[in-house]
């Protein structure tokens, strides 16, 4: 165990942390439903989709961000907040800042699409655009210079505890759950969910799902050490929310301890899942949000054989309209 | 007041009936969330969308159908059930029959698309296809001949009470609600919702919304009498769930008493609302399910001026994939 791993081990999130997060965030975060998705080959096989795409900002990111901000609200009110992200985390932090009347600076990579930058600006946040490689450093710099509260995207116990409320709700809403499928990228979401699920129902399996083209976490779990993939590799997948080159240090400690397996899905399987979620589940999912459902639809995670109730997290729904239109075309 | 109106008046649904329905249907019906939809011109203007499109069969119809069947379950188990519908009601009754192990016969009009007929058959129901004009008569005949429990689509107090649970939930989920927008066709949904809302919060406005091309209910309310539109007129609208030529007798008694206004939307407004619901609300709505949101988006119902919280029922999401793809195209 290296020194960073030891730090992470010392700050493993507990069920108590997650229950405290649930109490903190309930006024602004939606208790999302489990939406029943029938299998195309049998109306009696049901996937219970935890519809995080229905959060006010379109993704689960609101949970961890709010759990972090709520614990240092006085400092945030006095000085403001800063976060780095090109996507759903940026939008969540900007939205929370508007609701809570906080000043927010969002550090975004110059590779982010102008529409995403505009969406964050429209919420009233200041955006600072930097080269992609510098965004983490710049966020820390701004926090140090101005006393901003820093709201990191995933590598933080408060973020993990906030995302863990998804797992708490799944067990409450589906007490008989036997398998939970979760998209994995930086690892904050699955870390929190696995911590909650294993504390409440140790026999329930928690399976991570990532694109075959960005399978750093699957390789890490197989080899027993955190492995980074070059962004030039991970950027091949359509699932733009899952391109993080490696799982975070804090998440890695949770994943090693609590996650049963990590499986991968192909690009075609992701697009087919988006289509089925829209037409049979009436849920708009972005590609990253559809990977867990894709694993179930294509019998990849072994969940089809465990005879129990299967849940999958539909983590977000911020999708390019042209892509969604394309997957819905009857010929696709 | 004519003799049929007197009958309907005598069987006005009460808040007690709706609360009893809520107790009956909770094990199979989803308590759908209020999903926040921001206005395209201002992130601070929010429509609270009651997402009935997320029910297991994709529409609110499950509520009234189950409330009806649950009250005569012994007869339904012994003899079976029968219903007439070409759309969401057919699917709801067939799905309930499968879940409750009942025999079901669904009378469908020969004008129904083969895909809808197949979807009902796949759920295990027997389908009898008849000329459109005969479907009500045929359902009653089958009920009389075989002792089937008849589950009508809207013109029945048990159906109205079941649909009214939507209104109960809206007031529980959004106690400050000032306006509720509801699609109107046969009138079962708005009758139940208006009954619940006016009992709990008499100052809250309940507004019906229908397509300009199928505006029989708006004309009826304006003229103070039930008016039928020729199906050749109502069939012009893309909102196929709202083509019923006239409001039902039981619903009419409730609408006259409890509904504040009925407004209309154009075909273009319906399609624009489908697009905005998908991209900003992550909800797939069929055209009929999008009319209430369309009225809010286009400032038609006066709700933009009442200074309060506005809810709209997104009643269903069974949409033709090609139509959904078309409204999502950036050029549309």
Return the pLDDT at A1.
Answer: 42
Measured CA to CA, the distance from residue B284 to residue B297 in angstroms comes to: 16
Return the pLDDT at B9.
Answer: 58
Q: How would you class B305 by CB atoms within 10 Å of its CB: exposed for 0-12, middle for 13-18, buried for 19 or more? A: exposed
Under an 8 A CB cutoff, do B58 and A282 touch?
yes
Does residue B110 surpass a pLDDT of 80?
Answer: yes
Q: How would you class A133 by CB atoms within 10 Å of its CB: exposed for 0-12, middle for 13-18, buried for 19 or more? A: exposed
List of chain B residues whose C-beta atoms are within 8 Å of the C-beta of residue A283:
54, 282-284
Active-site residue identified among A85, A86, A185, A315:
A315
Residue of chain B whose Cα is closest to the Cα of A99: B44
* CA neighbor of A325 nearest in space, from A290, A291, A278, A280: A278
pLDDT, tens digit, 9 for 90 and up, residues B157-189: 999 999 999 999 999 999 999 999 999 999 999
The residue assigned the tokens 């038609």 is: B300
Does residue B2 surpass a pLDDT of 60?
Answer: no
Average pLDDT, chain B: 93
Average pLDDT, chain A: 93
Across A1-10, A29-38, A312-321, B221-230, least confident range:
A1-10
Measured CA to CA, the distance from residue B40 to residue A188 in angstroms comes to: 31
Measured CA to CA, the distance from residue B135 to residue A97 in angstroms comes to: 56
Query: Distance from B220 to chain A by nearest Cα, in Å?
Result: 33
Cβ–Cβ under 8 Å, residues B280 and B228 = no
Does residue B1 surpass a pLDDT of 50?
Answer: no
pLDDT, tens digit, 9 for 90 and up, residues A57-86: 999 999 999 999 999 999 999 999 999 998
Nearest to B282 among A31, A54, A122 (CB): A54
Under an 8 A CB cutoff, do B284 and A282 touch?
yes
- The CA-atom distances, in angstroms, between A167 and each of A156, A177, A302, A313 are 17, 11, 20, 9
Measured CA to CA, the distance from residue B298 to residue B48 in angstroms comes to: 15
Nearest to A328 among B31, B95, B325 (CB): B325
Nearest to A322 among B122, B123, B330 (CB): B330
Over its C-alpha atoms, chain B yields an Rg (Å, rounded) of 18
List of chain B residues whose C-beta atoms are within 8 Å of the C-beta of residue A54:
33, 35, 51, 281-283
* Mean pLDDT confidence for A33-56: 95
Return the pLDDT at A180.
Answer: 98
**Edge-to-edge strands, sheet with B126-130:** B126-130, B104-109, B81-84, B149-150
Return the pLDDT at B123.
Answer: 94
* Domains in chain A: ranges and CATH: 3-59+156-328 (3.40.50.1100), 61-150 (3.40.50.1100)
Under an 8 A CB cutoff, do B56 and A36 touch?
yes
The residue assigned the tokens 């905005």 is: B276
List of chain A residues whose C-beta atoms are within 8 Å of the C-beta of residue B36:
30, 56
* CA neighbor of B61 nearest in space, from B146, B137, B154: B154
**Edge-to-edge strands, sheet with A34-39:** A34-39, A42-51, A309-314, A177-183, A205-211, A261-265
Residue A260 region by backbone torsions, left for phi larger than 0, else alpha for psi between -120 and 50, else beta: alpha
Return the pLDDT at A30.
Answer: 98
Would you please indicate which residues of B are annotated as catalytic (active-site) residues? 61, 315
For residue A85, the SS3 value is coil
Return the pLDDT at B211.
Answer: 97
Does residue A10 surpass a pLDDT of 80?
Answer: no
Euclidean distance between the first and the last CA atom of chain A, given in angstroms as a whole number = 48
* Interface mutation target, options A104, A281, A328, chain B, most CBs of B under 10 Å: A328
Interface of B with A (CB under 8 A): 30-33, 35-36, 43-44, 51, 53-54, 56, 58, 95, 98, 122-123, 275, 278-279, 281-285, 317, 319, 321-322, 324-326, 328-330
Confidence of residue B332 (pLDDT cuts 50, 70, 90): very low
* CA neighbor of B157 nearest in space, from B253, B242, B70, B246: B253
């Amino acid at each position: 165990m290296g020194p960073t791993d030891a730090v992470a081990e010392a700050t493993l999130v507990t069920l108590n942390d997650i229950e405290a997060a649930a109490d903190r965030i309930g006024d602004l975060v939606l208790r999302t439903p489990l939406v029943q998705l029938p299998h195309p080959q049998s109306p009696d096989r049901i996937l219970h989709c935890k519809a995080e795409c229905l959060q006010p900002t379109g993704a689960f990111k609101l949970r961890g961000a709010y759990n972090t901000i709520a614990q240092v609200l006085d400092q945030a009110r006095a000085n403001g907040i800063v976060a780095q992200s090109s996507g759903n985390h940026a939008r969540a932090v900007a939205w929370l800042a508007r609701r809570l009347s906080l000043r927010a600076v969002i550090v975004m990579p110059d590779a982010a699409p102008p529409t995403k930058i505009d969406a964050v600006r429209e919420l009233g946040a200041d955006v600072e655009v930097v080269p992609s490689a510098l965004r983490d450093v710049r966020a820390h710099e701004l926090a140090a210079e101005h006393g901003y509260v820093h709201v990191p995207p995933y590598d933080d116990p408060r973020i993990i505890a906030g995302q863990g409320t998804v797992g708490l709700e799944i067990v409450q809403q589906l007490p008989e759950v036997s398998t939970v499928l979760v998209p994995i990228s930086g690892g904050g979401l699955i870390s929190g969910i696995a911590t909650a699920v294993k504390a409440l129902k140790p026999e329930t399996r928690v399976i991570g799902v990532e694109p075959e083209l960005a399978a750093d976490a699957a390789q890490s779990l197989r080899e027993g050490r955190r492995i980074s993939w070059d962004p030039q590799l991970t950027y091949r997948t359509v699932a733009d929310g899952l391109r993080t080159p490696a799982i975070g240090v804090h998440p890695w400690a949770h994943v090693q301890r609590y996650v049963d397996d990590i499986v991968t899905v192909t690009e075609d399987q992701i697009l087919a899942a988006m289509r089925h979620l829209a037409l049979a589940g009436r849920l708009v999912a972005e590609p990253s949000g559809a990977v867990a459902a894709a694993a179930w639809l294509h019998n990849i995670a072994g969940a089809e054989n465990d005879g129990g109730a299967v849940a999958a997290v539909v983590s977000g729904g911020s999708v390019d309209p042209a892509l969604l239109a394309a997957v819905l075309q009857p010929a696709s």
